[in-house]
Amino acid sequence: MTATAVPTPGSPSSQTTSAEVHAAGIPVEHEQADSFRTAASVSVEPALLSSDQILNLLPHRYPFALVDRVVAYEPGLRAVAIKNVTFNEPHFQGHFPGRPLMPGVLIVEAMAQVGGLIVTQMPDLPKGLFVFAGIDEVRFRRPVVPGDQLRISCELLSLKRKRFGKVRAQATVAGELVCSGSLMFSLVD
């Protein structure tokens, strides 16, 4: 058997360029090739909460489990999480053929799930299902495509009667703002 060298993250050979994508015969637009390069150069932060731990805290399951790992976490205050956007996700089949874009509603849902992580381990909150109660001032700044890595930051703004909450959320890709807004949630019986 012969050994195959695997490039390490950050090494010159791990960077995929537009020319390499085209030379490989992969038919993509220039913007998509740039997104491949960006995804290859993303640094990996250590997880404070792994995907298994997140599954124990949130009720969402495939295909709606939209948080891959948590990289900063202060229960009851704030959370920062990562969502790796891959071409294998089912919504890309129809949104849109030939130009896959992550639906804005799923970006907002991912932000809401990170917001949910903030309150899941607050000891004095009743157990139950928190659902959307409102979405304010949400703006989308740029498309999210396969290969992007969403970095989602949420901060708890208020919690009333242990049943109604509000978070300020934003999602970025490579430091560029993608989406931001305020999300309200309530506990259902």
Which structure tokens are listed for 82?
Answer: 């990562």
Question: What is the C-alpha to C-alpha distance for residues 49 and 57, in angstroms, rounded to an integer?
Answer: 10
In the set 22, 60, 91, 95, the catalytic residue is 95
The CA distances from residue 186 to 39, 60, 123, 133, 166, in Å, are 35, 16, 17, 6, 9
**Sheet containing strand 78-84, strands side by side:** 69-74, 78-84, 149-160, 164-173, 176-188, 129-140
91 catalytic residue (yes or no): no
| Secondary structure of residue 114 in the 3-state scheme | helix
Question: What is the C-alpha to C-alpha distance for residues 189 and 99, in angstroms, rounded to an integer?
Answer: 41
| Secondary structure of residue 46 in the 3-state scheme | coil
The residues carrying an active-site annotation are 95
